[in-house]
Amino acid sequence: MGIDETRERDRGESTRRSFLGRTACLTLGAAAALAPGTALVARAEPEASAKPETPAKPTSDAIAPVKPKAPPKPRPLPFKLSLAEWSLHKALFDKRIDPLDFAVVANGLGFDAVEYVNQFFPDKAKSKDYLAEMKRRAAGEGVWSVLIMIDREGALGDPDKTKRTATVDNHKKWVEAAAYLGCHAIRVNAHSEGAYEEQIKFVAEGLRALTEYAEPHGINVIVENHGGLSSDGAWLTRVMTTVGHPRCGTLPDFGNFRIDDKTEYDRYKGVRQLMPFAKAVSAKSYDFDGQGNETKIDYRKMLEIVTEAGYHGYVGVEYEGKRLDEYDGIRKTKRLLERVRKTLIET
């Protein structure tokens, strides 16, 4: 290669290097202009064969996410509370309370359900206006009508068939009244006369006839232990099995186990025998000690018998004492029932 060729080559190489240098400066200057104050950092480019990582799919052995547990549901109440109208019988008979205001009084005492007694409105069973007002006031207080206790309408077990039939007819108007008020039952008495077995037959016949009338009305016919052989738990159990109707049952009362002046049936045994047929329960009370316990009846024992039978309906407060004011007696009975109920829930 000659001198001129060598010079020409060197001049071309110099020109190429100069061009590349100016190009680099221009590129750096543009980057600086786009990001003023930012240092230029060299960055390695990924290889062409590299692929972005993707999360692995869960396998069948993967642990599922743990869902938060729902809070435990509160245990249902073993039983509900209602107020029996008989608890206020002194005030009602003395006209200090209007029977139409019974639901108002009950609500004021903390009850949301009531049990009527027909003795306080004996001539109103067929009065639609009266019953409508009673129903309206109960609804206005948010109070349920549970049942009507029926007295003084004859003996359902009368040995005379004509009289027995008439007694059944006398009760029919109360079946209709109970249905209108939204009750689930009427409480009746199982009074009769004669030998032990005969009374079972007579009472069962009267109860069966009345229950068959009550069935299409959606009303139960329930018998309370209320003196005579009805206070004998074994006898009343026999009556129930003889009637053999699903709408005929019992209303075990914690008291009322005196058969006659000389004989009193064991109250705990009696309630235990009657509970398999129970469609209502009456918590009778008479008086209380300093700790708020009933002086004649072991409420814890009684309510264990009630709940162990699988009963979860209403237990009616029926204060019948003489020492305390009726309102005070009702409050003490209610507090005792609530206290025992709380222990039953916790154990």
Rounded Cα distance, 187 and 189, in Å? 7
Residue boundaries of the structural domains of the chain? 80-346
Please tell me the predicted confidence (pLDDT) of residue 56.
53
Helix/strand/coil percentages in the chain, nearest 5: 50, 15, 40
What are the pLDDT digits (tens) for 266-309? Answer: 999 999 999 999 999 999 999 999 999 999 999 999 999 999 99
The answer to whether the CB of 116 falls within 8 A of the CB of 150 is: no
Residue 186 near residue 174 (C-beta atoms within 8 A): yes
Name the token pair of 272: 């235990």
Looking from the CA of 322 toward its CB, the CA atoms found within 13 Å total 0
Supply φ then ψ for residue 224, to 5 degrees: -95, 145
Chain segment 67-98, per-residue pLDDT in tens: 677 777 777 889 999 999 999 999 999 999 99
Give 120's pLDDT tier (boundaries 50, 70, 90): very high
The answer for residues whose C-beta is within 8 angstroms of residue 88's C-beta and 6 or more apart is 97, 102, 105, 326, 330
Structure tokens belonging to residue 229: 């052989």
Q: Determine which helix (DSSP H) or strand (DSSP E) holds 94, and give its type and residue range.
A: none
DSSP string, 146-169: EEEE--SS--TB-SSHHHHHHHHH
CATH topology for 80-346 is: TIM Barrel (3.20.20)
Range in 48-57, 64-73, 115-124, 221-230 with the lowest mean pLDDT: 48-57
Query: What band does 42 get if pLDDT is binned at 50, 70 and 90?
Result: very low
CA-CA distance, 203 to 169, in Å (whole number)? 15
> In the beta sheet, which residues pair with residue 80?
314
Q: Are 275 and 305 in contact (CB under 8 A)?
A: yes
pLDDT, residue 252, reads: 98
